[in-house]
Amino acid sequence: MSREEVIGTIMEAIVRQDEEALAQNVSKGLEQGVEPLVIINEGITPGLRKVGDLFANEEVFLPELVLAGQIVTEVMHVVEAKLRGNGAESLNKGLVLMATVRGDVHDIGKNLVILLLKASGYEVENLGKSVAAETIAKKVIELKPQIVGLSSLLSTTMPAQREVIETINESGVRESVKILVGGAPVTREWAEKIGADGYAENASEAVIEADRVMGYR
């Protein structure tokens, strides 16, 4: 089987949420000498993106999206072990702090983003839901993340995203971190208005935006 065929079967297994096929084809690729980073960048990441696109188009639904993220998370342990065996460091694109803003207790969307970020090589600290701006700013100072992700599922809590950005500004650490915002009522125009660095409409786009602001694409 050629490298291209192996990569294709990996993507297909993710789209079908076939854990056994994904594990088998990842192992086969590694045995054939396909580089772990090639498997991640050309097989796993595009496969996840495809599932996210299908979810956005309502061709698959929440259980399928969650399952795809879970099986990728499992197989990533195998790929990372191979990276370490080759003398490379464990895949870690950076630390992301994720929070649903103050006043908003919805976290399904945020948790999906966390799942896909982890599967794509990010370390994620989940601060939870209805998190105060001051708490987020303190965690930025303490943990020094590369990205902060702010979720708001209610139009009434969207101003809390602006409050977080202002509080981080006042804390003097704004230049050290990229801020991404998202949630059902949130728009790109709103993100630009409040001074965020990026906006994602759904979980798969959040990974794309994270990669963009980190310079991976």
**Measured distance CA(170)–CA(176) in Å, rounded:** 13
- Domain termination site, one of 50, 85, 120: 85
Q: Is residue 120 part of a domain?
A: yes
Cβ atoms 169, 200 nearer than 8 A:
no
Q: Number of structural domains, the chain?
A: 2
Q: Which is nearest to 180 in space by CA: 161, 160, 199? A: 199
Res 90: pLDDT? 58
Pair (39, 110) in one structural domain? no
The pair of structure tokens assigned to 99 is 């929070």
Pair (203, 115) in one structural domain? yes
Pair (115, 209) in one structural domain? yes
Pair (201, 128) in one structural domain? yes
SS3 content of the chain, % helix, strand, coil (to 5): 60, 10, 30
List the CATH number of the domain containing 108.
3.40.50.280
- Look up the pTM and report it: 0.75
Domain with 184 in it: 95-214
Q: Is residue 90 part of a domain?
A: no
pLDDT exceeds 60 at position 75? yes
Pair (190, 130) in one structural domain? yes
Span 150-162, pLDDT tens digits: 999 999 999 999 9
Span 112-148, pLDDT tens digits: 888 888 878 899 999 999 999 999 999 999 999 999 9
Pair (60, 114) in one structural domain? no
Pair (33, 122) in one structural domain? no
